[in-house]
Structure 1
């Protein structure tokens, strides 16, 4: 198990042949259009994490972009709506296909309202994740060992989390509904970017 930091882009062929990759991002804040994308972290579920510290403002990362749109690789995210919007805004790609563990949790774990990654990982995997570095300076020219470890932790467990949530979704008969939500998710992110971030277009009012 190791964490790798890459400057600007992923190495050639790093995730060749994988069927799924866990993906997360770190930004300077949570407001679309104001806060830049700084770091993208990925894992193939093998215990290793790869962090890409992006070159701003050009965001020239062809290998990363190709992976995000590769139709043969499912991207596993938690609250993918935000990451997908950030990737479209700054990298110019629409990520897909995707699996969102937060959506899966909300559909499967209806006995709770705690669907953050920390809560879901603690219950389903017995993993207690630290969120101390979440609000640190991700635009810094040098990432600290603590930042690297934190960013890695956000992707290292998503493959196992997906397996547990898939079992629950099948048990509750909601796996097809979840898949439909995952397919719509990139469109939901595009609606956010187009100005409907706070509006439920399906509501009567």
Structure 2
């Protein structure tokens, strides 16, 4: 397994030919409109990870943007709602098509309320990932080795998680419901960006 760190953009040809790419991001915080997008990490499920340390002065990353919007490439997230909103806000793209392992977990694993990436990965794959660097300074001029390892770990297991969760969704007869949720997810993220982040527009009240 190798983790590559790229400055500014994904190099031409990297991840070319992949039909599904795991994606995650690191930001300076969790508030849309306040906290900038700093790093995007990706993996094609073959064991390597690619980290793009973005130029926050321009967010000019045409190769990354092309991949995020490629209709032939499924983007796999865990809690994709936040990442997709960040990509819309800072990169100016609507990411699609997408799959979210957190949504899949909530629909398939109704026997638990533990749907964080660490919990789902531990139960379904037997892999214990560390979240120690989650709240570190992702805007630093140079990422530490611990940050690089942490960012990579967030995408290296998503393909395997998708496979396990797909089996569970099919077993429970909820795969079509999950697909409908994934199709709507980019629009849910755009609602967040537009100011409806904390409003359930489907509620009666």
TM-score bucket (shorter structure): over 0.9
Runs ≥4 residues deviating over 4 A: none
Aligned: 1:61 with 2:61: yes
Aligned: 1:11 with 2:11: yes
> 1:67-86: CA deviations, max 9, x gaps?
00000000000000000000
1:17 to partner: Cα distance:
1.0
Q: Distance in 1 between matches of 2:48 and 2:24?
A: 14
Q: Distance in 2 between matches of 1:38 and 1:194?
A: 21
CA-atom RMSD in angstroms: 0.4
> 1:132-156: CA deviations, max 9, x gaps?
0000000000000000000000000
SS in 1 for 2:133: helix
Q: Distance in 1 between matches of 2:83 and 2:192?
A: 12
Aligned residues: 205
Q: Distance in 1 between matches of 2:90 and 2:161?
A: 28
Residue 87 of structure 1 corresponds to which residue in structure 2? 87
Aligned: 1:183 with 2:183: yes
1:57 to partner: Cα distance:
2.0
Residue 44 of structure 1 corresponds to which residue in structure 2? 44
Residue 116 of structure 1 corresponds to which residue in structure 2? 116
